[in-house]
Amino acid sequence: MSSLATMPKDSNDVSTQRNTSPSFSSWVDNLLENGMGTGFLSNFNAGMTLPAVNIKENAEEYFLEIAVPGMKKSDFNIDVDNKVLSISSESKEEKEVKEENYTRREFGYASFKRTFTLPDTVESDKISATYKEGILSVHLPKKEEAKEKPAKRISVS
């Protein structure tokens, strides 16, 4: 790696020369400027991904839709504790093929955990979930007193 630097030959003349041994600080600066710093750090956890979540609300309830394709219903753990909804999954897969001259073992592991602080308006005893076509849907009904009421006209007497 080389860089160009301006070096004064005398007090009046400045020319461009090849700097064959950059200082450590300029090497680090170049490394960071070329994207290794922030690019490396932003991709550090690339092996761990959290599933995408859509949160919807209407007058009666909240809905969570979580994209988790390739899972089974039995892979999910859904818990409510102190107004915190936790959704997690852990799956392990192991394959072993034994042939006459070799043995091949493959394994995989995937897990995630998402937590959501529930508002006071959620009826936590009535939370339900379904899993269909790679989407985990969690239904969070609102308490009766929290549901929106239609507008009402009040007459003046």
Q: What is the pLDDT of residues 99-145, one digit of tens each?
A: 888 778 787 777 889 999 999 999 999 999 999 999 999 999 998 88
Question: What was the pLDDT predicted at 66?
Answer: 93
Residues 102, 56: Cα–Cα separation, whole Å: 52
* Alpha helices (runs of H) in the chain, residue ranges in sequence order: 24-33, 36-42
Domain 53-145 class, CATH top level: mainly beta
Residues 129, 78: Cα–Cα separation, whole Å: 9
- Low-confidence residues of the chain: pLDDT under 70: 1-48
Residues 89, 71: Cα–Cα separation, whole Å: 9
Q: Where in the chain do CATH 2.60.40.790 domains reside? A: 53-145
Question: What was the pLDDT predicted at 141?
Answer: 94
Two structure tokens written together for 89 = 């999954």
Is the pTM value of this prediction over 0.85? Answer: no
Question: What was the pLDDT predicted at 22?
Answer: 53
Bridge partners (DSSP) of residue 139 are: 63, 128
